[in-house]
Structure 1
Amino acid sequence: MSVDTARRTSRGAVRRAERALAPDLARGAMLLIIALANVAGVVFAGEPGLDATPEGADRGLNFLLFELVHARGYPVFAVMFGYGIVQLARRQDASGATPKQVRSVLIRRNLWLVVFGFAHAALLYYGDFLGAYGIVGLVMTLVLLRRGDKFHRIVLVLWALAAVEILILGAIVVSRILGGQGGSAPLPAGHVDSLAAPGYAASMLDRVGEWPMHTLRVLPFIIIAWLGMWAARRRVLEEPARHKSLLTWTTILGLGVAIAGGLPAALVSAGWLHVNESAASLMLMLHGASGLFAGPGYVAVFGLIAMRVTRPGSVVGALSALGQRSLSGYLFQSVAWLILLAPFTLALGDRFNSPTVTGLIIAVAVWLATVLTAHLLDKRKQAGPAEIVLRRLTYGPRA
């Protein structure tokens, strides 16, 4: 086999791997978790989104949101963001680009993500992650991307230390519960001015002020994105059958830690456990810290599912199509929240008996609309509008 033939074969293998089902499936399903988390915050104008006085079925919904959704959606996004950086660099390498050219492409793309993030926050939704992803992407491109395997093992040590921290914090929380100090404090929830603003102009001014602090607060998720980069270097999602054991244990441990760590806060949110203010604050801290492990846990689940799919049907195909257009799907959600839920537009969250139920129904409906739209675009071989814009800004008008 000639060198050129070998090179073409290698590039073909890379492209086939990049088209593997699991990464796109994870991104598509991830947007449902993001929608459920964000819609609750929009409905209750707070972070996390919480009905402080739930009754009936709302108690169970609060419980499930805190166990499976709140602080458990963005870690999935972060894992896949780190994974995607390696995928993009690998595609560039396979096309013959030099390391310097690959770095230049990634830097441009991440700088434009920061611009996208600011515009997203100013115009639509304060809880933007695109700007933070752009900043983290720059750091990962310049500091982490071309490092060797030995260096990347550092992230595993960091995750082990995070697990120890969660165990210690969990032990403190359990001791507080068993101590039986009593109380009836709710979980602390921060008010978000832009979500309660009476007009669009006022909400936009609030968002411009809220975005910088929100972005700085979520930058530490680089540890999650770094884990995604580590997994991508081993093609964990492109070749799930080779990594079945890793995916299985990641599912068990990742979701196990997230569910166990979120349990105390979930019980308080449902009104089934009563504690004092100090204990409630510790529970919310444990809830957030343990939520990091939901990222790799959920992604591992999608990897195991993809391994079982030999012939993607219409449902899996539509989810994967949304995953390929995840930026458009994410931005569409923010447009929907502004139109359907803002106090100065339709304000549907306040028009029915249960804001929690209303919000969740809207979230699922909006996500399904993005799934259907992505499926139709996929049949026409069209990218999402946001992906088209970002690609042209990154690669130029001929992209």
Structure 2
Amino acid sequence: MSQHTDTPSAPPAPGALPAQARSLAPDLARGFMLLVIATVHAHMFRMVAAGGSGYTLDGPLDTAVTVFMALFGENRGYPMFAALFGYGLVQIYRHRSADGHEWPWVRRLLRRRGRWLVAIGAAHTVLLFYGDVIAVYGIIALLFTAALRSTDRRLLTHAAVWLAVGPPVYAVVTNLAMSGDQQQSELYEATPLSDLLARVFTTPFLWPLMIVISVFPVLIGVWAARRHLLEEPLRHRTLLRRIMIAGIGASVLGGLPYALVTAELWQQGTIATTVLFWLHLVTGYAGGFGYAAAIALLTLHLRRRGPVTTALAATGQRSMTCYLLQSVAWVVLVPSYTLGVLPTLGDAQAVGLGAAVWLATVVIAAALHRAGFRRGPVEWFLRRVTYGRPVRKPEATGSGAEEHPSSPHPVR
């Protein structure tokens, strides 16, 4: 094996991992997480589109679905999304460092990527959806890049602080804002222009709220990636099993009181409801981590990648594209100035519609995979603006020279 030198040409040009080298668990987790997000959003949009007066709860099925979503969906999908984002940051840092790049170069790379995530998220907000998380994660990447090199003790201390501060702030502000639900419904009774303006003006309030509840799971994702928990599930089987059982168990027990309030099976005052919502948030972190652990353990029993596994993994590999495609679907389905179908649906039907939207993105991702596209269009764009234009290496390999992303210079 050749020795590494300090010449500018020594570090290999950064490139994507071959498909066969990718760990299955993170991709499956992202694919599953998008199902949780789609169904939660559809359930929420039905309530808001109908006037913000609550869920329909029209019979036992709607009530059961509403309880189910509160126990297993709401505030359970985004912690897993955030943790996987932190996990991915460590993977980028690890791979680029293994290529021979020093920390200052990797830091510039990650911050450049974070800035472009903010730009993509801002465009997503303006054009499609007020609840964007892409920009939120981009901001976190900009602010917390140094956490990738922190000691475990410092990392977990910071995580504990954000756990102590974030959920109470979010719970209090969110429940105070609940009185504005009637105003929220106007978003779906207005014009595209007024809808756009509403998204723009609410963003300065929503992004900080999302940041304060997302830093903790991102940092936990960093901690987990340092131990290769998802890439090496066999080695960490015992720990993953404990995380799965304890995490999902705590999520169900801690989420049950607020689920009963949400389904109007238990009446509580404003203060009590805020406390129960805080408990729902905190235990939701545990649920999200438990889901990721369960999926990692599941991969131990997958002897081969069948069509379903391949499609779900393809969705996870293109998670940003599929996430934005969901927003396109909501623009078509939700507002009154488009199809406006959600106010006519019950709670169970809305969740079913969310699952159908997710399934459509799975079909699209699988088709891209079969067509030979290694990335979705948004992932391709993010990689291009982060690393620069591909160039052909001047190697004497005949006419079959491979294309590689450009050298570190574009990210200086």
Distance 1:214 1:71 in 2: 15
**1:333 lines up with 2:326 in the alignment:** yes
Amino acid at match of 1:363: G
Which of the numbers 88, 93, 116 marks the counterpart of 1:89? Answer: 93
Which of 170, 178, 195 pairs up with 1:203? 195
Pick which of 272-281 and 35-44 moved more.
272-281
CA offset at residue 161 of structure 1? 6.5
Number of corresponding residues? 369
Q: 1:265 aligns with which of 248, 258, 277?
A: 258
Specify the code of the residue in structure 1 equivalent to 2:369.
D
Provide the C-alpha distance between the structure 2 equivalents of 1:28 and 1:3, rounded to a whole number of angstroms: 40
Deviations 1:343-375 (A, max 9, x none): 2100111234x2x23321221111111111111
Q: Please report how far the alpha carbon of residue 50 of structure 1 lies from its aligned counterpart in structure 2 after TM superposition.
A: 7.8
Q: Any idea what SS the aligned residue of 1:369 has? A: helix
2:106 alignment partner, one of 102, 106, 121: 102
Deviation at 1:258, TM superposition (A): 1.4
SS in structure 2 at match of 1:237: coil
- Give the counterpart letter for 2:301 in structure 1: R
> What displacement does 1:209 show?
0.6
How far off its partner does 1:66 sit? 0.7
2:368 matches 1:364? no
Length-normalised TM-score, structure 1: 0.85
**Distance change (3 Å), C-alpha of 1:101 and 1:113:** same
* 2:114 aligned counterpart, secondary structure: helix
Q: Secondary structure at the match of 1:274?
A: coil
Contact 1:78 / 1:295 at 8 angstroms: preserved in 2?
no
Query: Which residue, out of 51, 54, 61, partners 1:51?
Result: 54
User: Which residue identity does 1:66 align to in structure 2?
Assistant: A
Distance in 2, matches of 1:112 and 1:284, equals: 33
Does structure 1 retain, via aligned residues, the 8 Å contact 2:333–2:341?
A: yes
The reply to whether residue 219 of structure 1 matches residue 211 of structure 2 is: yes
| Distance in 2, Cα, partners of 1:227 & 1:84 | 12
Indicate the percent of aligned positions where both proteins have the same amino acid. 38
- In 2, the alpha carbon distance for the partners of 1:319 and 1:346 equals 29
Deviation at 1:248, TM superposition (A): 0.8
Aligned residue among 286, 289, 298 for 2:291: 298
Q: Partners in 1 of 2:242 and 2:161 — Cα distance?
A: 18
Q: Which consecutive aligned stretches of 4+ in structure 1 deviate over 6 angstroms post-superposition?
A: 14-17, 159-162
1:377 counterpart = 2:377: no
Identify if the C-alpha distance between structure 1 residues 328 and 50 changes in structure 2 by more than 3 Å, giving closer, same or farther.
farther
**Kindly tell me: are residues 306 and 50 of structure 1, through their superposed partners in 2, closer, same or farther at Cα, counting changes over 3 Å?**
farther
Q: After TM superposition, list the pairs within 5 Å mapping 1:1-399 onto structure 2.
A: 3=3, 19-45=22-48, 51-56=54-59, 57-141=61-145, 143-154=146-157, 191=181, 192=184, 195-220=187-212, 221-352=214-345, 354=346, 356-382=347-373, 383-398=375-390, 399=405
**Per the alignment, do residues 31 and 153 of structure 1 end up closer, same or farther by CA in structure 2, a change over 3 Å counting?**
same
Once the 2 structures are TM-superposed, how far is the Cα of residue 51 of structure 1 from its aligned partner?
3.5
Amino acid at match of 1:257: A
Q: 1:160 to 1:106 in 2, by over 3 A?
A: closer
Aligned-partner Cα distance in 2 for 1:160–1:397:
40
Question: Contact conserved, 1:41 with 1:50, CA < 8 A, in 2?
Answer: no
TM-score of the two chains, using structure 2 as the length reference: 0.82
Q: CA deviation at 1:199?
A: 1.3
Q: Give the whole-Å Cα distance in 2 for the aligned partners of 1:193 and 1:122.
A: 18
Q: Deviations over 1:300-337 (max 9, x none)?
A: 11111112212111111111111100000000000000
Contact 1:50–1:189, Cα closer than 8 Å, also in 2: no
Shift of 1:396: 1.2
For 2:251, what is the secondary structure of its paired residue? helix
- Structure-2 separation of matches of 1:188 and 1:223: 25
Residues 112 and 90 (structure 1), Cα distance of their counterparts in 2 relative to 1, 3 Å cut: same
Which one is further off, 339-348 or 279-288? Answer: 279-288
Amino acid at match of 2:348: V
The whole-number CA distance in structure 2 between the counterparts of 1:319 and 1:270 is 31
Quote the RMSD (CA, aligned, Å).
2.9
1:286-311 residue CA offsets vs partner (Å, 9 max, x unmatched): 21222122221111111111122121
Distance 1:202 1:159, change over 3 A: closer
Measure, in 1, the Cα distance between the counterparts of 2:278 and 2:153.
32
| Structure 1: tracts of 5 or more residues without a match | 170-186
8 Å contact kept, 1:59–1:269 = no
CA distance in structure 1 between the partners assigned to 2:32 and 2:179 by the alignment: 27
Give the letter aligned to residue 73 of structure 2: V
Task: Report the equivalent of 1:180.
Answer: none
- Residue by residue, what CA displacement relative to the aligned partner does 1:194-227 show, whole Å, maximum 9, x if unpaired? 7434111110000001112110001121111000
| Distance in 1 between residues matched to 2:211 and 2:270, nearest whole Å | 28
- Residues 318 and 372 of structure 1 are in contact (CA less than 8 Å); yes or no, is this contact kept in structure 2? yes
